[in-house]
Amino acid sequence: MTRHITLKSAINEALDQEMARDPKLLIFGQDTAGGVEAGGVADTWGGVLGVTKGLYTKYGDRVIDAPPTEMAYVGAAVGAALAGVPVVAEVPFIDFMGVCLDQLLNQAAKIRYMFGGTAEIPLVIRTMVGAGINGAAQHSQMLTSMFTHIPGLKVICPSTPHDAKGLMIEAIRDKDPVIFCEPKFFYDVSGTVPAEPYTIPFGQARVAKAGEDVSIVTYGPMVPRALEAASQLEQQGVSAEVIDLRTLSPLDLTTVLNSVRKTGRLVAADEAHPRCNMATDIIAQVTEQCFPSLKTAPQMVSAPHTPVPFSPVLEKAYIPGVEQIITAVTKTMTSPS
């Protein structure tokens, strides 16, 4: 059975079903229980943005309300995972991952290697990414590519409710640490999601729209914008293929290369800042591995190299959108071969 539910609800359902399946699974996070007038007991908040709402009432002390000290509770989650207890820990915004970075960079990501493959870290770090909710400079960044640079971490960023549920269940069942990046601007976007549990394997990109003239490669919050751009381009006679990476590490480069070899043109889009983001990584690897197939220089779409503004008008101008993608595609179509 399938239903239309929101991206937020899809993640909640994945957590619920996995907690029912595995009695050892724990959830750590800020405000997972308690809240205003709750006496620290009632299940009122369900995390900072309400994703875990209802789970404390259902699973009691397996849902642990942590203080706002990310290094402490992420460190506890790493230790629990190392001891064989799987944990999903919520760091409310990726902007604050720096507070607990040592626990991830030097502990969780390295332990399997340092123990000769004998240790497992069944740990998922849920975190929110992207702009669009007037969160200002410290609650709106797209820092996903920082974590793809770290061997030993898997990095996920879904764009649809269907993918969010399947990838979350896959992440929980994985034996290595996973950074699960949730585009908070799309929490309330609905989509078709099966009621039963299912998984989506890591390292498999999705062809969100087939096309022949240009490949638009992106992920997370940029996917709906790329699809809208592709729809408008279709009316202009340009057939754009849209690739949703879904998992940033491991990266399905094969699907990207096959698409570019077919179209001969590439636009890589990322809501992140322009230096060392996923778009620059994709362009570099495509240029290196299938340069003869390119009919023109690849184009990048990204946010400007500035902090995210608080002003709604400035924030709207900051976020790369449909117009920027269309402009980049038009440039690839009109540039000389």
What is the signed CA dihedral for 319, 325, 327, 328, rounded to 10 degrees? 110
What 3-state DSSP class applies to 178?
strand
Pairing between β-strand 123-129 and β-strand 178-183 as defined by DSSP bridges: parallel
* Cβ atoms 218, 268 nearer than 8 A: yes
What is the C-alpha separation between 298 and 332, in angstroms, rounded?
7
Tokens 């239309």 correspond to what residue?
Answer: 4
DSSP bridge partners of 63: 27
For residue 44, CA distances in Å to 49, 57, 88, 139, 319 come to 11, 9, 19, 22, 32
What is the C-alpha separation between 308 and 316, in angstroms, rounded?
10
* Cβ atoms 127, 180 nearer than 8 A: yes
**DSSP per residue over 298-313, as a string?**
-EEE---SSPPPSSHH
Amino acid at position 40, single letter: G
What 3-state DSSP class applies to 278?
helix
Amino acid at position 169, single letter: I
Q: Which among 139, 149, 162, 273 is annotated as catalytic?
A: 139
What is the C-alpha separation between 126 and 29, in angstroms, rounded?
9
Annotated active-site residue 273? The verdict is no
What is the C-alpha separation between 78 and 90, in angstroms, rounded?
13
Tokens 């006679």 correspond to what residue?
Answer: 237
Which residues are known catalytic residues?
Answer: 139
